[in-house]
């Protein structure tokens, strides 16, 4: 969230971040949003009896602010199909692996266990399949001989901070768009636009 907020400070950046919404009242993202003068809302999931009740309250806030795109950043809850379908094509997420490899949790540990040579992160549209939506952009980092999960995680996080604002800008400038659950249409996008190599 901080990387997106910092990117949006630049008057040349094609995106305005209108609101930061959190499902928890005391998180670092809200402090960062305040520091950047961004409106904040808290839709506390612990005050709701069900996931559906929480997502309905969340959707009401999103409708109220007339949101165009939802960027998940540190939102560690799995969204229901109902919520995803309501906002179909308007939700993006960043995941700490080169999808479709290593969806879910513990991506860095699994990458090291498999002995692969590169790792990274993926920005993707959200659909009903966990970490399975159409890919917007990916950033690649090397896996070094002495890496442990913490060192690899730190390197991937640096790439996440670069690629998430980049992917959001691709959508805002209509270089990438949602076309359905299985494809993203790239319009005049070069490999340099889509892949960042650290």
Q: What is the pLDDT of residues 33-55, one digit of tens each?
A: 888 899 999 999 999 999 999 99
pLDDT of residue 193: 42
Q: Low-confidence residues of the chain, pLDDT below 70?
A: 182-183, 185-198
Neighbours of 126 (CB within 10 A): 22
The catalytically annotated residue of 36, 45, 54, 95 is 95
Distances (CA, A) of 153 to 31, 77, 150: 23, 20, 5
Predicted local confidence at residue 186, as pLDDT: 64
List of domains in the chain: 2-197 (3.40.50.170)
The label of the residue with tokens 């009896």 reads: 49
Q: Is 95 a catalytic residue?
A: yes
- Distance in angstroms (rounded) separating the CA atoms of residues 11 and 6: 11
pLDDT value of position 100: 96
Residues 6+ apart with CB under 8 A from 162: 3, 139, 196, 198
């Amino acid at each position: 969230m901080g990387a997106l907020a910092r990117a949006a400070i630049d008057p040349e950046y094609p995106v305005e971040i209108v609101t930061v919404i959190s499902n928890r009242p005391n998180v670092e993202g809200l402090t960062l949003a305040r520091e950047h003068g961004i409106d904040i809302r808290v839709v506390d999931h612990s005050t709701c009896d069900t996931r559906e009740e929480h997502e309905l309250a969340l959707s009401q806030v999103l409708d109220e602010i007339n949101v165009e795109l939802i960027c998940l950043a540190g939102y560690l809850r799995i969204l229901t199909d109902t919520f995803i379908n309501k906002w179909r094509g308007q939700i993006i997420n960043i995941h700490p692996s080169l999808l479709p490899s290593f969806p879910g949790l513990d991506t860095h540990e699994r990458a090291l266990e498999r002995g692969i040579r590169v790792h990274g992160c993926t920005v993707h549209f959200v659909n009903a399949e966990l970490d399975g939506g159409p890919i917007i952009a990916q950033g690649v980092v090397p896996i070094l001989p002495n890496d442990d999960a913490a060192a690899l995680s730190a390197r991937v996080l640096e790439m996440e901070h670069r690629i998430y604002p980049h992917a959001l800008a691709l959508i805002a400038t209509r270089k990438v768009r949602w076309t359905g659950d299985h494809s993203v249409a790239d319009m005049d996008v070069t490999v340099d636009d889509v892949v960042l190599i650290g």
